[in-house]
Amino acid sequence: MSAEACRISLEAFEGPLDLLLYLIRREELDIREVSVARVADQYLEYVRQAEELDLDVASEYLVMAATLAGIKSRALLPGRGDLQEEQESSAEELLRQLELYKAFREVAEELRDSEATWRNAFPAPGERERWSAESPVRLAGQYTIVDLLEALEELSAEAAPESSETLERPRLTIASCISSISTSLAPGGWVPLGQIVGAGSSRLRLVGFFVAILELVRRGWVSFSQKSPFGELRLRRTGRWSEECSTG
């Protein structure tokens, strides 16, 4: 089989049985005359090619591939009566399945034809409601689980908006932190950072004060000391703060 012939995507088939029927038909054989081994080879080639093309091969195709490979390999083993029997019965079952599917595919085709005709026969007048924008009124017994699911879907789609509260983010500017530091950091002594910020402060407040202190240190208005890594930060107001503040 040429690679080109395999290029037909598995998408074109309604599953493994459909593909098998296609392969059999291409050989112009009746289902009962088919050499399972031969068709199995072609089938496996198809699936292999599909996989190579990086297509997502549905699991049912792989299950069928395994079945075919099993039938074929048992057929190749000579002798063993029990294996022979097993092979025949699984090949037989597969052929039956194919015949059954083929029959349904054919009547499906006939049904499709009659639907194509009758879908263009418009009844008068009641059934028109079927396609009306407004659903027809139905009696209690005429509802199905599908209606329930649809209703549930509609409900959840139009569910009342979740009650919400508007939370105001506390506004904390660096300037306000600096002015707060200026009141708690009296000239002269060393004051621990924790005392300035206040115990149990929010993370936002801590960050705000820390940035404010970095700014003050950059300006040279505050000096700091830390005895050990991660130790307590102690701050002291420098002379420059008062000088520049009063002049600026």
Partner 1 sequence: MLDRLTRSIEALLFASDRPLSLQDLCELTGCGPDAAAGALEQLREAFEEIGSSIILAELAGGWRFVTDPSLGDVVSQLFEDRRPGKLSRASIETLAVIAYNQPCTKAAVEAIRGVDCDSAVRSLLERGLVRICGRQETAGRPLTYATTDQFLSSFGLLDLEHLPRRREIDEILASGPPAEESGELFPHEG
d(CA 208, CA 172): 7
Q: What whole-number distance in Å separates Cα of residue 47 and Cα of residue 67?
A: 13
Task: Lay out the site mask for partner 1 across 162-191 (x = CB under 8 A, - = otherwise).
Answer: ------------------------------
Of 11, 14, 27, 52, the one binding partner 1 by CB under 8 A:
14
| Nearer CB in complex with partner 1: 5/108 | 108
Closest Cα partner for 31 from 109, 81, 103, 133?
A: 103
Query: Closest separation between CB of residue 85 and partner 1, Å?
Result: 18
Report the residue from 3, 121, 155, 160 that binds partner 1 according to the rule CB under 8 A: 121
Instruction: Report phi then psi at 225, rounded to 5.
Output: -140, 150
Q: How far is the CB of 79 from partner 1 (least distance, A)?
A: 28
Report the alpha-carbon distance of residue 159 to residue 155 in Å, rounded.
6
Applying the rule CB under 8 A, the residues between 78 and 117 that interact with partner 1 are: 93, 96-97, 99-101, 103-108, 110-112, 114-117
With contact defined as beta carbons under 8 Å apart, do 185 and 233 qualify? no
Of residues 127 and 244, the one with the C-beta less far from partner 1: 127
Q: Give the contact letters, 17-36, x = binds to partner 1 (CB under 8 A), - = no.
A: xx------------------
Q: Distance between CA 5 and CA 26 in Å, rounded?
A: 11
Query: Which residue's entry shows tokens 């050989």?
Result: 27
Contact 20, 64 (CB under 8 A): yes
Q: In this structure, are residues 99 and 30 in contact, taking their beta carbons and an 8 Å threshold?
A: no
- How many residues are given for the chain? 248
x/- letters, 124..163, toward partner 1 (CB under 8 A): xxxxxxxxxx----------xxx-----------------
Per rule CB under 8 A, is residue 56 in the interface with partner 1? no
Please report, as ranges, the residues that interact with partner 1 according to CB under 8 A.
Answer: 14-18, 58, 60, 64, 93, 96-97, 99-101, 103-108, 110-112, 114-133, 144-146
